Amino acid sequence: MNWLDKNILSFVTFVPAAGALLLLFFPRRDRDIKLFSLVISLLSFVVSLHLPAHFNRNQAGFQFDKNIPWIPTPNIHYHMGIDGISLWLVVLTTFLTPLCVLISWKSIHERVKEFFILLLVLETAMIGVFVALDLFLFYFFWEATLIPMALLIGMYGHERRVYAAVKFFLYTMIASVFMLAAILWLYANTTPHTFDFVAVQNAIQQGQLPNLPGAARWLFFGFFVAFAVKVPLFPFHTWLPDAHVEAPTAGSVLLAGVLLKMGTYGLLRFNLGLFPQQSRANASWIAALALIGIVYGALVAMVQPNMKKLIAYSSISHLGFVVLGIFSFTQAGLNGATFVMLAHGISTGALFMLAGILYERRHTYEISEFGGLATPMPTYSTFFLFIVLASVGLPLLNGFVGEFLVLSGAFQTKMWWGIVGATGVIWSACYLLWMYQRVFFGVVKHEENNLLPDLNLRERVALWPTAVVALAMGVAPLLWLNAIDPAVHNALAVFPQYVTQVVGR
Amino acid sequence: MALQTMQTLPGAVDYIRILPEVVLSLFGMLVMFLDPILDERRSQRTLGGIALAGAIAALAATLYQAQPQYWGLGFWEMVRVDPFSIFFHFVVAASAILVILSSYEYMEVQQIRAGEYYALILFGAVGMNLMSSAVELVLIFIALEISSISTYILAGFRRRSAISSESSVKYFLLGSFATAFFLYGVALMFGATGSTSIARISASLAEYAGGHGPLLAYLGVALMFVGLGFKVAAAPFHVWTPDVYEGAPSPVVGFMSTAPKAAVFAVLLRIMFEAKTPDAARVWLIWVAAALSMTIGNIAALVQDNVKRLLAYSSIAHAGYLLVAIASLPANGIPAAMFYTASYAAMNIGAFAVVGHFAGAGERYVTLEDYSGLGRRSPGLAAILTVFLLSLIGIPITGGFFAKFYVFSAALQGNHPLVGLVVIGVLNSAIAAYYYLRIIVVMYMREPRTDAPVSPIPAGLGIALALSLAVTIYLGVLPGRVLEYAGRSVDLLH
C-alpha cells in the first residue's frame, strides 16, 4: 500500500480541522472567510474522492487502514479504516459541507468567523466518526460532533435556540455515557486490553471474553441507547424537531444529512458487529419501534403547519426505514438501509436547504404563509418538486432504491414488517405532496409573496449537485451498491448461524 | 538510630534536596526587602518580575533536583526527594508561575499593593513544596501551616472589599481549627506507633497481624483526614469554600484551589499509602467523603448565579473525584490522582484567570448575567474559558477527560472494585455538565450586555492562558508520558 493510501483518511478527516485552525487567525473579513471555508470544504471533498476512486470493491473488510499507537495507558490506537458502508458516508459528509457553506453565505451575517470554524470542526468530527476503528477514537469523535453542533444551533438558530441546543446536547450526551460504559467494559475484559474494534470483534467471535454472556445484554443496550437517541428512534426522538426547527439551515442540513446517520451507522457497525446474538434477540421490538417511527413520524409530519418541522418528522419516518432494514438481517435489508442513509442525506439535506432559502426571503416556515409560489419562483418550485419526488421514493430517483431494498428485506424476515413499512412510503407521498400543493399551487395568497425573487446563481450552484446526485443514485444505484454489498455481506457473515435462524423463521 | 543521624550535620546534598524551597524563600525575602525601598507606584511590575523569576528558578531547581543522584532522604530523614515529590514540586512551581503571570494586570486594576502579595505566593509555594517532600508528620504539619497562613492572608487581599476580609477571617478561623485536628491526629499516631516518621509508622503498623492497626491508629488517621479534608475542601468539611472563594481575589482562588490541594493530596497519598495505614480505614473514610463531595459539590453548583461560587462548588466536586482515586488501589490510584492534580491545576487556574480578568475593578462582574454574550464581546476570552469549562466537564481531548477516565478506571481495578463509587461519580459528571454548560450557553447564546466592559487581554495574562491552555490540551491529547511518569514514581515509593 502506498503512502497516500495509508494516510488518505487522516487527510480527509483533518483537512477541515486544519482549515478551521487557520481560520482562527484570519482577520474578520467576512467575504474572505467564506471563500476560504468554501475552498477548504471543496478541497476535502476532492481529497475524499480518492476513496471511491481507489476503493477495492471486491474486497470485504477495512481498507485504507492506518493503525498506530496513540496513548499507551490505556491502550488507545489511532486506528482508521473504511469499508463499503463508511466509504459513502464519508463522501456524503464532504459532499454536503461545501453546500452548507454556500447556503450560509447570506444568512449568516454576524459572528461569521465562528460559524465557519464550527462548521469545519464539525465536519472533521463527523468524518472521524465514520472512519474511526478504535472504540475510544470513535467515542472521541462522537462526542466531538456534539459541541460544534450545539453551538451552531444555540448561536445561530431561531427564537427558541437555546432551549433546543441544550436539549440536543443533554439528550445525546447522557445517552452516550452508556456507550462509554460499554466501551470501557469491553476494554477491561479483553486480554490484552484493547479498544481496537477489529480485535474486540475477533475476541467476541472466538469466545475469548469469559464474562460476556452475562454482560452482553447490557453492553448491547449501552450502545443501543446512544445510537437510538441519535437516529432518533421512537420514543427517543423528541429532541429532533426542536433542534431542526431552531437550527440554522446549514445546521439542519448536517444534522439530518449526517448526524442522524451516525446513529444508524453505529447500530450497523457496533450493535450488529459486536453483539449479533443480542441483536437477533432484540430485533423484534427494535423493528417494532422502527415501524412505529415510520408511521408515527409520517402521521405527525402530515399535520405540521411548519415546513421545517414537517421535514424533521419526515426524517424520523425515513430513518425508521434504515433501522428496519438493519434489523431485518438480510442482504437486501442492509444494503437498502445503507442506501437510504445516503439517499436521505442528499434529499433531506436538499429539502432543508430549500426551506432555508425560503426562510431567507420571508423569515417564516409557516406553510400557511405561502401558496402559489410556483408563479413567482418557477425555478425554485422545480427544484423543490424534484427533491420532493426523490424523497417520496419515485422510481428512478434515489429514495426509491433504498426503500425498495429495505422493504424487500423486511418482507423476507417477517411479512407484517414489510406491510406496515410499505405504508410509510404512501404516507410520505401524502405529507410531502400535500405540503407541496399548499405551498406552490393555486393563486398567490399573500401579497408579499408575489415579489419573492427566484433562485440566484449561488443557490442554484448549491442545489444542482443534490439534484444530479439524486438522479444518478436512482438511475445507477449499482455504482454505490457494488461497494456497499461486500461490506454488508461481511457484516452478515460474522454471524451466519443467527441469520439463518431469522431468515428461516 | 535517630540520635546518630541527628549528630551529623546536613551536607551539601541535603540542601539540594530542599533546593526549590530555598530558592523560593530567598526570592520571597528579596521581594519583601525591595518592597519598602522601591517607589510604591512603580514597584508592582518589578516585584512581580522578581517573583516570576523566583518561581521559574524554583522550577529549574526542581529539574536540577530531579537527577537520580539527588533522590533520597535528607535532613535527618525528614524530607525525601523522589519522582513523587518532584512531580508535585513541578505542579506547585508551575501553578505559581501561572498565577503570578495572571496577577500582573489584576493587581493594577484592583489597586492592590504588590509587595506582600507576591512574597506570600512564594512563601506559600515553599510550604506546598515542603508538604510534598516531607516524610515526617511534624514537618508536614509545619509545611501545612506555612502554606495555610500564606493563603489565609492572600484571601483577604482585596482590602477594600468587606467580603474579602470576611473570606480571610473565615478561612483563618476554620483553617486553624482544622489544622488542630490534624495535629491531634499526629499525636494519636505517635501514641499508636511511637514515631512521627512515615517510614517508621509504616514499619510499626506492618507488625500488626492481619494488617489491622491499633484503634488509636484508626483514630489518628481519621483525625488527620479531617484536617486534610478541610484543606482540599472535601465534604463534609467544605462549608467554608464558597464564601472564601467568592471573597478572595480571583487569581488567588486559582492558586489556592490547585497548588495547596495538590500538595495536600501528596500528603494524603503518603499518609494513606506510604505509611500503610489499614485499608479498611482508608477505603470507608474516603468512600464516604468522596461520595459526599461529588454529590454536594455538583448539586449545589447547579443553582449558583455567581461564577466564582459556582467554580467553588465545582472545586468541591473535583476534590471528590480525586478522593475516588485515593480510595482505589495504590498501583492505579496514585498515578490517577497525580494526573488529576496536574490537569486540574492547569484548567482551574486558567478558568480563574479568565474570571479575574473579566471581573474588572473591585471584581464587580462575577455573576452569570454579566457573562451574557461574552462570546461576542470578547471572542478570544470566551473561547479560552470554554475550553477550560469543557475540560472541567471532562470532554475528550482535554486533560479533564483523561483525569476522570484514569480515576474511574483505577477505582474499577482489583478484586473489590468500587463500582458504587464509580456509578455515583459518573452520574455526578453528567450533572456537572449542566452547570458548566450554563456558562457556555450564557456566553454564546445570550444577547451581549453592554454595561460590563471587557478590556483587551494583557501580555502576562495572555501568556498564562496560553500556557494553561497548552497544558490542558497536551494532557488531553498525549496523556501517556505524564501518566507513565506518575506510574514510575509510584514504584519508587515505599
Which set of grid coordinates corresponds to residue B36? 519598602
Contact A71 B376 (CB under 8 A): no
Q: Determine the residue of chain A that is closest to B395 in CA distance.
A: A143
Q: CB distance from B480 to chain A under 8 Å?
A: yes
Residue A463, CA distances (Å) to A99, A152, A353, A386, B442 in order: 8, 22, 8, 11, 35
Residue B5 lies in a domain: no
In 3D space, the residue among B339, B239, B341 whose CA is nearest the CA of residue B293 turns out to be B239
Q: State the pLDDT confidence band at B366, using cuts at 50, 70 and 90.
A: confident
Burial letters B272-300, b for 16+ CB under 10 A, else e: bbbbbbbeebbbebbbebbbbbbbbbbeb
Where along chain A do its domains lie?
Answer: 275-505
pLDDT at B9 over 60: yes
Report which of residues B24 and B360 the model is more confident about: B24
Q: Mean pLDDT over residues A108-132, rounded?
A: 92
Grid look-up 476580609 returns B165
Q: How does pLDDT run across A334-369, given as a tens digit for each residue?
A: 999 999 999 999 999 999 999 999 999 888 899 988
State whether A188 and B412 contact (CB < 8 Å). yes
Model confidence at A503, pLDDT cuts 50, 70, 90, reads very low
Contacts of A137 in chain B (CB under 8 A): none
Q: Which residues have CB under 8 Å from A457's CB, separation 6+?
A: none
Strands A76-82 and B72-74: unpaired
Closest chain A C-alpha to B446 CA, distance in angstroms: 8
Q: Is B426–A169 a contact, with Cβ atoms under 8 angstroms apart?
A: no
Mind listing the pLDDT tens digit for each residue in A161-215?
889 998 998 888 888 888 988 898 888 888 888 899 999 988 888 888 888 888 8
Question: CA–CA separation, B353 vs B92, rounded Å?
Answer: 16
Q: What is the mean pLDDT of residues A134-156?
A: 91
Asked if residues A213 and A241 have their Cβ atoms less than 8 Å apart, the reply is no
| Rounded average pLDDT over B204-208 | 79
Task: Calculate mean pLDDT across residues B308-328.
Answer: 93
For position B7, what pLDDT does the model report? 58
Q: Residue B479: closest CA among chain A residues belongs to which residue?
A: A71
Residue B284 has pLDDT above 80, yes or no: yes
Is residue B74 within 8 A of residue B14, CB to CB? The reply is yes
| Contact between B154 and B120 (Cβ < 8 Å) | yes
**How far B369 CA sits from the closest chain A CA (Å)?**
15
Number of domains in chain B: 1
Q: Is residue B298 part of a domain?
A: yes
Element at A189 (helix H, strand E): helix A161-189
Sequence-ordered list of residues with C-beta below 8 angstroms from that of A288, at least 6 positions apart, any chain: none
pLDDT at res. A145? 92
pLDDT of residue A193: 85
Residue contact B480–A161, C-beta within 8 A: no
Instruction: Determine the 3-state secondary structure of A387 from DSSP.
Output: helix
Residue B67 grid cell: 537527577
- Is the per-residue pLDDT at B17 higher than 70? yes
Q: What is the rounded distance in angstroms from the CA atom of residue A488 to the CA atom of residue A84? A: 8
Chain B residues with beta carbon closer than 8 angstroms to that of A114 = 375, 379
* Residue B2 belongs to a domain: no
pLDDT category, B6, cuts 50, 70, 90? low
Å from B400 to nearest chain A CA?
Answer: 13
Average pLDDT over residues B226-237: 90
Q: Residue A157 has which C-alpha cell?
A: 438558530
Q: Does B445 sit within 8 Å of A154, measured CB to CB?
A: yes
The average pLDDT across B223-232 equals 91
Interface membership of B379 toward A (CB under 8 Å): yes
For residue B332, the chain A residues in CB contact (below 8 A) are none
What whole-number distance in Å separates Cα of residue A53 and Cα of residue B361? 61
Q: Could you tell me the three cell numbers for B286? A: 474516603
Contact criterion met (CB < 8 Å) for A170 and B433: yes
**A474: confidence class by pLDDT, cuts 50, 70, 90:** very high
Task: Supply the range of the domain harboring residue B38.
Answer: 12-491
Residue in chain B nearest A28 by alpha carbon = B379
Measured in angstroms, the CA of B217 and the nearest CA of chain A are apart by 36
- Quick check: helix, strand or coil at residue A56? coil
| Distance from the B368 Cα atom to the nearest Cα atom in chain A, whole angstroms | 15
Taking 60 as the threshold, does the pLDDT of residue B209 lie above it? no
User: What's the pLDDT band for A504 if we cut at 50, 70, 90?
Assistant: very low
- Does the structure show a pLDDT above 60 at B436? yes
Least confident of B101-115, B203-217, B252-266: B203-217
Flag whether residue A73 sits within 8 Å of chain B, measured between CB atoms. yes
Note the pLDDT of residue A277: 87
**Residue A421: pLDDT over 70:** yes
Global ipTM: 0.80
Residue from B377, B404, B444, B475 whose CB has the most chain A CBs within 10 Å, to mutate: B444
| Site from B385, B434, B441 to mutate, A interface, most A CB atoms within 10 angstroms | B441
Q: In this structure, what C-alpha cell is assigned to residue B431?
A: 450533572
8 Å CB contact of A177 and B396: no
Shortest CA distance from A154: residue in chain B: B445
Q: Which of A313, A343, A285 is nearest to A427 (CA)?
A: A313
Assess A137–B contact: CB distance below 8 Å, yes or no: no
Mean pLDDT of B475-487: 89
A140-161 burial string, b = 16+ CB within 10 Å, else e?
A: bbbbbbbbbbbbbbbbbbeeeb
B-chain residues near A174 (CB < 8 A): 430
What Cα–Cα distance (Å) separates residue B248 from each residue in B151, B254, B308? 10, 10, 10
Q: For residue range A457-473, list pLDDT tens digits in order.
A: 999 999 999 999 999 99
- Which tens digit of pLDDT belongs to each residue from B30-61? 999 998 888 877 788 888 999 999 999 999 99
Per-residue HEC secondary structure of A249-285 comes to: HHHHHHHHHHHHHHHHHHHHHHHHHHCHHHHHHHHHH
pLDDT at A505: 38
Is residue B1 in some structural domain?
no
Instruction: Find the mean pLDDT for residues A299-313.
Output: 92
Which residues, numbered 221 to 280 in chain B, qualify as contacts with chain A under a Cβ-Cβ cut-off of 8 Å?
none
- Amino acid identity, residue A93? T
- Average confidence score pLDDT of chain B: 88
> What percentage of chain B has pLDDT greater than the value 90?
50
pLDDT tens per residue across span A50-89: 999 988 888 878 889 889 988 887 788 999 999 889 999 9
Chain A residues touching B480 at Cβ < 8 A: 71-73
CA distance B48 to chain A (A): 31
In angstroms, rounded to a whole number, what is the distance separating the alpha carbons of residues B325 and A16?
A: 38
Q: Looking at chain A, which residue has its C-alpha nearest residue B378?
A: A111
Q: Which residue of A has its CA nearest to B383?
A: A114
Chain-centroid distance of CA A108 in Å reads: 23
Beta carbons of B396 and A140 less than 8 Å apart: yes
**Cβ separation A162–B445 shorter than 8 A:** yes
pLDDT(B175) > 70: yes
Helix (H, G, I), strand (E, B) or coil at B162: helix
A vs B: CB pairs below 8 A: 56
Q: Which residue in the set A147, A181, A188 is minimally distant from B390, CB to CB?
A: A147
pTM confidence score = 0.87
> Stretch B92-119: mean pLDDT, rounded?
88
pLDDT, position B494: 59
Q: Does A71 touch chain B (CB under 8 A)?
A: yes
B328 phi-psi bin (left φ>0, alpha ψ -120 to 50, beta other) = beta
Cα gap B66→B77, rounded to integer Å: 18
